[in-house]
């Protein structure tokens, strides 16, 4: 739907990412509305763990979004590199869990303002060169304004089914508990290099999401505290009301484990 450019903002003399709609999007009202989805969702959020949207406008008939230029790589890329290098270690786990905690703080902030991300996964968690996590890819976010076209159940871009919650598989309305589920899946995957519900095909994966439990992290990573199992189990409850009620509850259980691991390395 769009094309990104590295650009300079002459008013502030800072580098930004300038996003403009593709030719197809400009001529399609529905695609153009979806182009603005990310800016409308993330633009009102000012948090160190959420990508900053600086400007949204139209110049000589051309819509644009100016956002923070991020230098680094996403969590999926980091995980894949460490997996290929055989770099799994307790130190690495402590670092990855810190990234998850930062992402959780950004999500909690968004949830408090009525925004549900709906696409939490390693690819939407960006880690800058200084180790700061930035939540990105708000294109599928649900806004608090029920009258907004971006608040309906239709996704603007394809969702990775690996991180779908049971209610998402059923096609139910999503809320913050679905983001908690997806962050639990991401936490599991970055520690084990295995998605908790990935099966041989989409149908089998969705069946696993609905009816199976993943192997405990402690079985796959005996070097890590067993307390992680309890965090993942609660985040991945099939019934959404049995999960953490909010991201703050999840972080209250996760952050002491992160500190415990950090103290042991």
Residue 188 is part of a domain; what is its CATH number?
1.10.510.10
Task: Clarify whether residues 52 and 183 are in a common domain.
Answer: no
Listed range (27-31, 80-84, 251-255) with the worst mean pLDDT: 27-31
Task: Clarify whether residues 30 and 105 are in a common domain.
Answer: no
Angstrom distance (rounded) from CA 163 to CA 119: 8
Angstrom distance (rounded) from CA 63 to CA 203: 39
pLDDT tens, position by position, 181-208: 999 999 999 999 999 998 888 999 999 9
Average pLDDT over residues 148-157: 46
Contact of 36 with 86, CB cutoff 8 Å: no
Residue 61 sits in a domain of what CATH number? 3.30.200.20
Task: Clarify whether residues 128 and 90 are in a common domain.
Answer: yes
**What range does the domain containing 246 cover?**
72-264
Task: Clarify whether residues 21 and 107 are in a common domain.
Answer: no
- How many CB atoms within 10 Å of residue 194? 13
- According to the model, what pLDDT value does residue 158 have? 58
Q: Closest by alpha carbon to 17, among 64, 58, 84, 50? A: 64
Name the strand (E) or helix (H) holding 67: strand 62-68
Average pLDDT over residues 46-70: 90
Give catalytic residues, as residue numbers.
119
Is pLDDT of 149 > 50?
Answer: no
Angstrom distance (rounded) from CA 38 to CA 142: 10
Number of folded domains that form the chain: 2
Task: Clarify whether residues 88 and 41 are in a common domain.
Answer: no
Task: Clarify whether residues 132 and 225 are in a common domain.
Answer: yes
Name the strand (E) or helix (H) holding 59: strand 53-59
Name the strand (E) or helix (H) holding 74: strand 72-74
Task: Clarify whether residues 124 and 231 are in a common domain.
Answer: yes
Angstrom distance (rounded) from CA 215 to CA 233: 10
* Threshold 0.85, pTM exceeds: yes
- SS3 label, residue 154: coil
Which pLDDT band, with edges at 50, 70 and 90, does 172 fall under?
very high
Angstrom distance (rounded) from CA 250 to CA 185: 13
State the greatest distance between any 2 C-alpha atoms of the chain, in Å, as a whole number: 59
């Amino acid at each position: 739907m769009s094309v990104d450019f590295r650009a300079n903002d002459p008013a502030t003399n800072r580098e930004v990412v300038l996003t403009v709609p593709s030719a197809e999007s400009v001529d399609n009202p529905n695609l153009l509305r979806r182009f603005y989805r990310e800016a409308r969702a993330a633009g009102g959020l000012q948090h160190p763990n959420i990508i900053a949207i600086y400007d949204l406008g139209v110049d000589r008939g051309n819509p644009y979004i100016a956002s923070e230029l991020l230098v680094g790589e996403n969590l999926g890329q980091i995980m894949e590199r460490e997996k290929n290098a055989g770099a799994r270690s307790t130190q690495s786990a402590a670092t990855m869990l810190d990234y998850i905690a930062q992402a959780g703080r950004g999500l909690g902030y968004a949830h408090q303002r009525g925004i549900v991300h709906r696409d939490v996964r390693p690819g939407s968690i960006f880690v800058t060169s200084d180790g700061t996590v930035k939540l990105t890819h708000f294109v599928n976010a649900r806004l608090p304004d029920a009258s907004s076209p971006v608040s309906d159940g239709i996704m603007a871009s394809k969702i990775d089914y690996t991180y779908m919650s049971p209610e998402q598989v059923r096609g139910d309305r999503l809320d913050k508990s679905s983001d908690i589920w997806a962050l639990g899946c991401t936490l599991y995957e970055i520690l084990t290099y295995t998605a908790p519900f990935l099966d041989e095909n989409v149908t089998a994966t969705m069946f696993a999401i609905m009816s199976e439990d993943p192997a405990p992290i402690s079985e796959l990573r005996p070097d890590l505290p067993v307390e992680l199992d309890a965090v993942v189990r609660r985040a991945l409850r099939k019934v959404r009301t049995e999960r953490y009620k909010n991201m703050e509850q999840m972080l209250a259980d996760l952050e002491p484990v992160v500190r415990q691991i950090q103290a042991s390395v």
